[in-house]
């Protein structure tokens, strides 16, 4: 009988079965404790790295083939560095009021009436200057004996009034720029032109006022008409009575004519007094306001009115200087 032999294959080298190092695997896969406070960006990066590590296949090595120092180094590299908080220093400035900021940017507010007043004053000065130029030109031309002389006087009057209008502003500017001698010369020239302009204004005013008064005084009112008719009748009766000689009845008619003439003169005087009602009203007002202490005559008020009407059109240059100075300060 053949010997039954059983063949056994005995491997020459038997590789020991790999054992899973639970301690190493736990050390590799177990989440490491993290700090509670991390920056949002660092925490997101750590979560992404953990997800990638969980998706990759795990390679395990036997404990005998992995040196302990590598494991320690691997743990140190796996732990992300702790985020250091950034120290930001915010410097807070002192609070500034909104009104102070606006005032510093745009400057102090100027009321509208402060800007309007210089403009109105300059407009009034130019208006008075135009009136003064017209007055001086008209009166200067009326003094000429011929047309050529009249036009020459007109040119002199207009030029003098223009100088009186603009010279105060120029002289004041020269004085502020410390050119005192030139400024004094300018003021001297202005004084001469001012006197010339005032003289022309006095002539213009007195001429027109006299013409108006004569025109009003020559009016024939019903009282004057009645007095004139009565006087005419009295004169006719006298002439008839005195034709044969001077006697008793003739003398009576002469007396009647004298009475009628006085009545006519009284009527004409009342009309002449009414020709200038401003003077009469001003005299009554002054007497009433002073309780009778002041009783000016009609000539006093007439002179005051003449001075005012002559001076006012010639102060346009002074007003223009004041208006420009006020506008520069606003």
Q: Tens-digit pLDDT profile for the chain (330 aa)? A: 444 444 444 455 555 555 545 444 445 444 555 544 545 555 666 676 666 555 555 455 454 455 555 555 555 554 555 545 544 454 555 554 454 444 444 545 555 556 788 888 888 888 888 988 998 888 888 888 888 998 999 999 899 889 888 888 888 888 888 898 999 998 999 999 999 989 888 989 888 888 888 888 778 888 888 888 888 888 888 888 887 777 777 888 888 888 888 888 888 888 877 778 888 888 888 888 888 888 888 888 888 888 888 888 888 888 888 887 776 665
Strands (E), 200-245: none
Q: Which of 83, 63, 82, 65 is nearest to 21 (CA)?
A: 63
Percent helix, strand, coil in the chain, to 5, is 70, 0, 30
pLDDT at 61 (0 to 100): 46
Domain residue limits, the chain: 112-329
Distance between CA atoms of 166 and 159, rounded to whole angstroms?
A: 11
Distance of alpha carbon 34 from the chain centroid: 72
Query: What is the C-alpha to C-alpha distance for residues 177 and 166, in angstroms, rounded to an integer?
Result: 17
Q: Are 196 and 159 in contact (CB under 8 A)?
A: no
> Model confidence over 71-109: pLDDT tens digits?
555 555 545 555 455 444 545 555 544 544 444 445 455
């Amino acid at each position: 009988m053949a010997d039954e032999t059983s063949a056994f294959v005995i491997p020459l080298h038997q590789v020991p079965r790999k054992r899973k190092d639970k301690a190493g695997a736990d050390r590799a896969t177990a989440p490491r404790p993290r700090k509670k406070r991390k920056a949002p960006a660092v925490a997101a990066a750590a979560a992404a790295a953990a997800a990638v590590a969980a998706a990759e296949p795990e390679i395990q090595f036997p404990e005998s083939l992995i040196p302990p120092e590598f494991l320690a180094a691997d743990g140190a590299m796996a732990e992300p560095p702790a985020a250091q908080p950034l120290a930001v220093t915010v410097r807070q400035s002192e609070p500034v009021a909104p009104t102070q900021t606006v005032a510093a940017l745009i400057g102090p507010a100027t009321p509208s009436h402060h800007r309007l007043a210089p403009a109105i004053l300059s407009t009034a000065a130019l208006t008075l200057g135009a009136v003064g130029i017209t007055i001086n030109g008209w009166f200067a031309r009326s003094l000429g004996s011929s047309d050529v002389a009249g036009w020459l006087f007109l040119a002199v009057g207009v030029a003098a009034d223009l100088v009186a209008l603009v010279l105060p502003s120029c002289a004041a500017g020269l004085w502020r720029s410390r050119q005192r001698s030139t400024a004094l010369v300018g003021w001297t020239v202005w004084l001469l032109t001012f006197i010339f302009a005032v003289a022309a204004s006095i002539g213009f005013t007195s001429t027109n006022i006299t013409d108006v008064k004569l025109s009003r005084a020559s009016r024939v009112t019903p009282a004057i008409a009645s007095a004139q008719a009565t006087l005419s009748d009295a004169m006719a009766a006298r002439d008839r009575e005195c034709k044969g000689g001077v006697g008793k009845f003739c003398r009576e008619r002469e007396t009647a004519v004298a009475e009628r003439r006085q009545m006519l003169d009284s009527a004409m005087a009342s009309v002449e007094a009414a020709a200038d009602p401003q003077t009469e009203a001003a005299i009554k007002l002054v007497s009433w306001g002073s309780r009778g202490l002041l009783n000016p005559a009609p000539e006093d008020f007439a002179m005051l009115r003449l001075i005012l009407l002559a001076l006012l059109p010639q102060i346009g240059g002074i007003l223009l200087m004041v208006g420009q100075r006020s506008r520069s300060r606003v």
